[in-house]
Amino acid sequence: IDGVIRIHWSAAINDEWTRNAAAKTRGVPAGIQRRLQGMIGAVPDWEVSHYDRFIDAFAGVDAGDRHVSAAALALQEREGHEVVLVTENLKHFPLTEMSRLGVQPMSSSEYLHRLFDEDGVAVLRVAEACRTKLRAPPRTAPAPHFAPSPSRRSTASIATVS
């Protein structure tokens, strides 16, 4: 997103989150599909595939989530750099198991803090761009209440789960 992060996920993750969203919210399938199509349209190179060969490498990861870990590892192999797996379900992705293979699981809050520490100005720029796209209701920009850190390291890829 605007050079700050690159978001990737698999078709299996799409199936999982749309199925869970429909069950949790009693959501209208058309609305969920619209959201999915919006995500896919916003991130043209979203899909991680050819990850099945890595599933068995994550024996210590919850069996139902190994496909997510495997997709993150396949992405790391494809992109050639660090991958952060962002999830609120950290208990299913043990740090020792994941870091052994070079994939770092983080909560969305922890990841956002990391991004802000690395390049707060870019994070604010992306947040403002997202805010201006909100349509219902339109949002106005609040005055900033903090100063970004001057650190400028790069985190290039991210695998997400819900």
pTM summary value: 0.75
Question: CA 46, CA 100: separation in Å to the nearest integer?
Answer: 25
Average pLDDT estimate for 111-122: 91
Query: Would you state the pLDDT for residue 109?
Result: 93
φ/ψ of 83, rounded to 5, equals: -125, 135
Question: CA 83, CA 98: separation in Å to the nearest integer?
Answer: 11
Q: Which is higher by pLDDT, 122 or 152?
A: 122
Query: Would you state the pLDDT for residue 147?
Result: 46
Strand order in the sheet with 103-106: 7-8, 157-160, 83-86, 103-106
Percent over 90 (pLDDT), the chain: 41
The answer to which of 48-52, 105-109, 120-124 has the lowest mean pLDDT is: 120-124
Which token pair is 52? Answer: 């099945």
- Residue 59 scores a pLDDT above 50: yes
Query: Coil, strand or helix: which one is 8?
Result: strand
Average pLDDT, the chain: 81
Q: Which is higher by pLDDT, 133 or 60?
A: 60
Query: Would you state the pLDDT for residue 73?
Result: 94
Query: Would you state the pLDDT for residue 17?
Result: 87
pLDDT digits (tens, 9 = 90+) for 129-159: 877 877 765 556 665 554 444 444 433 344 4
Longest pairwise C-alpha distance within the chain: 49
φ/ψ of 9, rounded to 5, equals: -160, 175
The answer to which of 9-13, 24-28, 114-118, 123-127 has the lowest mean pLDDT is: 24-28
Q: How many CA atoms lie within 13 A of 22 on its CB side?
A: 13
Residue type, 126: V
Average pLDDT estimate for 17-38: 82
